[in-house]
Structure 1
Amino acid sequence: MTAADLTAARQESPNAPRRHVATDLALIATFAALIAVCSIIPGISLGPASITLQTLAVMLAGAVLGANRGLLAVLLFMAVGAAGLPVFSGGSAGLAPFAGPTVGYLVSFPLAAWLIGFIVERLPRRKVATSIPLIFVAGLIANLVFVHTLGPLGLAWRAEMGIGAAFVFDLAFWPGDLVKTLIVAIVATAVHRAFPALLPRR
C-alpha cells in the first residue's frame, strides 16, 4: 500500500460509520413501512383477532436485517402506530390496540423479530438447500416461543377467554403462519445470496 493509499484510507474512514448508520436507518425505516403496509391490508377476521400478513413482514424484518435492526424496525412501526398513524391491523391507531385482545401479538412482534434475527445471524447461508430449511426452522422457533405464546395469553387476558380456549383459538393462525414462514425463508435466502454482507458478521 502506497502513501497515497494510506492518506485516502484515513480520509475515508471517518465517513464510513456515517454511511453505515445511514444505511441502517434506511433499512429500518423501509421494513417498518413494509410491516405497516402488511398490517393494513384487509385480512380474515376470526373475531377478536384477524389473519393478516403482519407476521410475515415482522419475521422478514428479523430474518433479513438481523436481530437488532429487525427489532428496531418493529419498534419503529409500533411507535408510529402509537403516535396516531393508522398502521395497525384494520387501520387502527393510537394506544387502544395495546389494551385490546391482540395486545399479546403486538408485544410478541419485536421479540419474535429479534429472535429469528439472532438465530439467522448464526446460520450458514452458503447453500440455498440448507439455508431455506434452517431459516424456516428459525421462524418456527420465533413463532412458537413468542407469537403463539404471548398472543393467546393476551387473548385470555383481554378477550375474557380461558387460557385453554385462547390457545385452541390460536391454532387457526398456524396454517397461515407456516406458509408465511416458508415465504420468509425463501425471500431471506435470496436477499442474503444477493447481499452477503447485509447481516452483521459473527
Structure 2
Amino acid sequence: MTNEGEALPPARRTLATGDLARVAVFAALIAALGLPGTITALGNQVPITLQTFGVMLAGAILGRWRGALAVIVLLVLVAAGLPLLAGGRGGLGVFAEVSAGYLIGWPVGAFVTGWIVERGGYKPGIVRLLVACAVGGIAVIYLFGIPVVAVRGELTLGQAAVGSLLFVPGDVIKVVLAALVVRATQRAYPDAVPAVHRERLRAAGER
C-alpha cells in the first residue's frame, strides 16, 4: 500500500463485470437524482438540479475512468431520447440548449474528481475529497458551461460568469454532502476507495 500523495502504478483499463455493474448503477443514480425536477431562478436559462451531486459521487467513488464512463453512459442514453435529465428532458436537442456546456462538462468533471481522489492513495482524507468534488464538480463543469451560456445566450463571458454565481451556494452544499457521503462509504466499504479497488483488481489478475 502507499501513503497519501504517493504515486500509484498505472491501472488496467479493462472493465470486469462488477465494474460494469457499478458504472450502470451510478448512471442510474445520476438519472434518479433528476426525478425531483429542476429549479429556474431569477430567469436564469440554466436549470438547477441535483444531478451534479451524482457526478461528484461517481468520480469520487468509482475513480476517474469508471466515473467518467458512468456519466457518458447516461448522456448517451439521453442522446438516444430517454428523458433522464432533470425535468424529464432527453434527446439530441438538449445538447443544443443554453445548458449544453454543463452537460458536456459532466464526464470531464467526474474524471477530474476521480483523479484527485486517486492521488490520495488508499486513505484519501476529507479535505482531499472536498477539493476533488469542488474542482471536478464545480470548477471544471463551469469551465465548460459558462462559455456555452455566453454564446447561446448572446452574453459576454463576464455576464455569463456572473449569472453562474447563482448556482454556487447550492453547489457548495453538494460538495460538502458528497465528500461526507464518500468518506462514510469508503470507511464502511474500503473497496469504494478507487486505489484499493484498483489494487484488488491487479492482484486478482496476477493470480
Q: Normalising by structure 1, what TM-score?
A: 0.84
Measure how far apart 1:182 and its partner are: 0.7
1:56 and 1:94 map into 2 onto residues whose CA distance is 22
2:85 and 2:137 map into 1 onto residues whose CA distance is 19
Tell me if structure 2 keeps the 8 A contact 1:139–1:181: yes
Structure 2 gaps, min length 5:
1-14, 203-207
1:66 and 1:169 map into 2 onto residues whose CA distance is 31
1:142 is matched with: 136
Percent identity (aligned)? 41
Match runs of 1:155-174 below 5 Å: 155-174=149-168
Measure how far apart 1:174 and its partner are: 0.6
2:118 and 2:64 map into 1 onto residues whose CA distance is 8
Letter in 1 for 2:131: V
Measure how far apart 1:22 and its partner are: 1.3
Looking at secondary structure, tell me which structure has more helix per residue: 1
Tell me if structure 2 keeps the 8 A contact 1:104–1:151: yes
Is 1:183 paired with 2:180? Answer: no
Q: Bigger CA drift: 39-48 or 50-59?
A: 39-48
1:56 is matched with: 53
1:58 and 1:52 map into 2 onto residues whose CA distance is 11
Structure 1 gaps, min length 5:
1-19
Report how many residues are paired.
181
Tell me if structure 1 keeps the 8 A contact 2:138–2:171: no
Match runs of 1:104-119 below 5 Å: 104-119=101-116
Tell me if structure 2 keeps the 8 A contact 1:56–1:184: yes
Tell me if structure 2 keeps the 8 A contact 1:152–1:166: yes
Tell me if structure 2 keeps the 8 A contact 1:40–1:89: yes
Deviating 4+ runs (over 3 angstroms)? none
Classify the secondary structure of the residue corresponding to 1:45: coil
2:12 is matched with: none
Letter in 2 for 1:119: I
Tell me if structure 2 keeps the 8 A contact 1:103–1:151: yes
Tell me if structure 2 keeps the 8 A contact 1:42–1:90: yes
2:11 is matched with: none
Tell me if structure 2 keeps the 8 A contact 1:101–1:159: yes
Tell me if structure 2 keeps the 8 A contact 1:125–1:189: no
1:177 and 1:125 map into 2 onto residues whose CA distance is 27
Higher Cα radius of gyration: 1
Tell me if structure 2 keeps the 8 A contact 1:125–1:131: no
Deviations 1:28-75 (A, max 9, x none): 001001111112321221331111101100110000110011000000
Q: Root-mean-square deviation (CA), in Å?
A: 1.9
